[in-house]
Structure 1
Amino acid sequence: MPGEAPQVCSITHNRDVVSIRQTIRTLAQRCRLSLVDQTKMITAASELARNTLVYGGGGSVTAGVVERDGRQGVAAVFEDGGPGIADVGLAMTDGWTSGAGLGLGLSGARRLVDEFELVTEAGVGTTVTIVKWAR
């Protein structure tokens, strides 16, 4: 719950994606996200974890329950030290996919959550932050 230390999970193998899905599900249930919102957050996190592994060469996610203005939600920050995203505009285009992920792409993940922030730099890596708020 708010005030608890966030959980940090490495993303280095396919099995880590499954573990991250379970972590996000547990956090979403703790802060009472609806079943639909749990599914949306888990799906977005799964896509971003897979992107971190496949395109970023691995990295980590830091996830936890957050609170703002009396509301609770789940936040997750995905970080990698990969090549960065060369064309953010293309990567954020609805329907665009490289063919390796779930077919959602970054734009699909963005639609599933309430807050989405992407920071990327060539040769430095990419950080994507997502939040889903309980209603």
Structure 2
Amino acid sequence: MSSKEMQAQTLTDYLAKHAAISAKELQRAQEYQRTLGGRIEHILVNLGVLQKDDLVAIYAEYLGLPVYEALTEESELSAEFIRDLDVEKSFKNGALPFRLVGNNLHIAIVDPFALGIYQDAAYREYELDFHLAKQGQLDALRVQLLF
């Protein structure tokens, strides 16, 4: 999907067309959203319509981002870079870097709509390449970076 198509299509529209969600389930989630607020994809998870791990594939397709492959993408960061990185702060923001190639910093992220990721001053000097990850993958990467 091109970025122009994505901009014209909301995530709700995308979910209605591409996810295995019935019109009734989506309507129920939208009613919940109007009443209590929240993001539609999280509401669908809370209602049991989607699994949390389904969001990685949904976000990847919707945003055109690659998926982090934990088994093939070991951390390729220097000990100095890791020492200077606030791993815990980055982890709390739902993002951890795993590779630096030239000025391109590859970052595993769980939620591409979490603003803390984009505001992290530690990453401002780099060109950022985001890879969508499951929470368990980010947990494992955190352990790898800390030890």
| TM-score > 0.5, shorter chain as reference | no
Q: Tell me the TM-score normalised to structure 1 length.
A: 0.23
Q: Which has the larger radius of gyration?
A: 2
Q: Tell me the TM-score normalised to structure 2 length.
A: 0.22
Answer 1 or 2: higher relative contact order, Cα 8 Å, separation at least 6: 1
Question: Whose strand proportion is higher, 1 or 2?
Answer: 1
